[in-house]
Structure 1
Amino acid sequence: MKRVFKIAAAVGLVGALLAGGYLAYLQVNYYRIADHQKLTVTNLQRAQLAVDHPYTATTYNIGFGAYNERYSFFMDTGTTKQGHHTRGKYGKATSRAAVQRSTTFVIKQIKAQHPDFALFQEIDTNSTRSYHVNQVRRVAAAFPHLGRVFASNFHSAYLLVPPTDPHGTVRSGLLTLSRYQVQSAQRRQYPVSTHLIEKFVDLDRCFVVLTLPVQNGRHLIMINSHMSAYDRGGKMRAAQLKLLTGVMKQARDRGDYVIVGGDFNHALGKQIMTHFRTNQRVPNWVSKMSNQDLPAGFRIVRADNYWTTPTVRATDTAYVPGKTYTTVVDGFIVSDNVTATAHNLATHFQETDHNPVKLTFKLQAE
């Protein structure tokens, strides 16, 4: 019996040492990218924006090439209306071929829109979860005549969760393409959780601020943003929204034009949280954002098909139309000197857990 206890104690000690060593490894490799980081504009364009001219922009969270209709993600949990609890399965894409197929699909969808600006979120460069497919390189090659800016939005050491399909190391970020001259680009750091575990899986949220000259002497401030999702109660997202809206207000107070696009990880309106048919309760990660949360002079551009086409699905299960929870979290915010309309592009979540959104806009003469 003593021998059994000794073996059990030894196993427990080894386990504790391994766990402690792994946490130490995560901590040693943990760092946050400095705020106000200057970003490189590659393939700089010369054309400048003009007032009263129509332009288009798209935003698309491409989900690192993993989220086809059958995919579920290990960090997502949910509850059916009958009270059954659900949790996603996978930590990485099901195969390298799946990532390549998804990336090809994304490129095809955006090429069909011929946008002047294309904003991408959750696009990987060298991650275990996407089998080290460089999605940024693939997308950039598909749009050789557009300038581009990339910013890291998530980098991590090797994450051993879930044990059956580890998420691994992650190098991911925000990619912005532009047909027009970008004068400067800056990475702004969002506040994130400092909780022992959460800080390793929600690193390193940011938004990108592009400054584009306009022929009338003003500037368009184009922002690409991806807020936190795994933020129970929305505390971090509230802090992130405060920072973002502060930057927006400063730009408008200078007389500039402002457009913010991306994945806000907020339902864009209270009613849309429960509008679409589903067999699930509203997930814990869903918070609400409306025009009342924005500074005076700004508005969320509600898509013309807002009530019929959601932009995100829950990923605690595979996608089943009419059963899986869906809502609208992707889109654009504009200042009052920008006229704009939007349309949610229905891809039926074939290769990503988001639908892209297209904005058509004009900068007003003042």
Structure 2
Amino acid sequence: MTVAVTGLGVTAPTGMGHRAYWAATLRGDSALRRITHFDPAPYPAKVAGEISGFAAEEHLPGRLLPQTDRMTRLALVAADWAFADAGIEPAELPEYAGGVITASHSGGFEFGQNELRALWSRGGEYVSAYQSFAWFYAVNSGQISIRNGLRGPSSVVVSDQAGGLDALAHARRQIRKGTGLVISGAVDASICPWGWVAQLAGGDLSTVPDPHRAYLPFDPAACGHVPGEGGALLVLEDVGHAERRGAPHIYGYLAGHAATLDPAPWTGGGSALGRAISAALRDAGVTPADIDVVFADAAGTPERDRAEAAAITEIFGAGAVPVTAPKTMTGRLYSGAAPLDLVAALLSIRDSVIPPTVGVEPAAEYGLDLVTSARPATVGAALVLARGTGGFNSAVVVLGPDHRH
């Protein structure tokens, strides 16, 4: 069964809505800045990709604001935009025809931090009852489902940065089982002191204060990543369902997926990313020569960049396929990063252009054809990669609308 992408909902540091995001991406506009959500002076890392100018009350009913974290507000807006782009009124769907499958990296950290502050400064009676679910990693799926009356198969996936692709793959499985439509992807937002300390504990955040030099994947100066907030939600449909209802457009097809887990570090085994790539290509029924661009995970540390480059060159050959990482403009959005890359991949196919990896001077040792300025190219098939802390690897192949899969 062919699974089509019919709607895009984007909330990104570089632009709200897929049109604004895509225009900024092709221009090479970076949103990495010194943090403004809180004073970063006491912390070793001070740069992030923040969404600015977002006023939730302009998009959502007031009753939702006291019970939602910033992450969930962004996700609800992304879902609204994805449905509008797909030409769908969720209320008009049959009761069990639509589902929601999202991924989460950390849940509603900012909401949790505020309630913990109330607990220790004022007492338990001042803690919001909404704390019982607003922090929860499954809350985006739940709130999107309730707001839109979607009672079909719904769930949440937690596999760190790989989770966004894994959620889309799970949505694809549910559609193949008979669900007509699933909204899927991920939105994360945890740029608050509590969330920041948790991220610092991982040891991979860049401490370079210059936003232009802080996140440089595949560069000799790579020294860690910069976090960001946001992500993307996509409407996925059985292609027959989309055609019967007269979907205004089909961006492309979710043609292949595979996930692997790296062996434990003490075993001496290497990265299993290459196996995920090969399996995703097989699932899509394509060969390495069919792939026109790879959207890299781009961890930004020498060890992890080296492992990813080795997997790509092993499958495709040195310099044989263009590689890009537009997340250098947004920061790594955790579970939201790869769905946003998948949106960029679909728009690359539509507009025949590969978006850039900004600010990077590629290290020759990696053997990658890294795209550092927007490059016109015929793109019919793209590979999107994501890796999460703990050894998670995920790979998705998307095909353009001219490739009925």
TM-score (norm 2): 0.30
Q: Which has the larger radius of gyration?
A: 1
User: Greater strand percent: which structure?
Assistant: 1
TM-score for the superposition, normalised by structure 1: 0.33
Which structure has greater helix proportion? 2
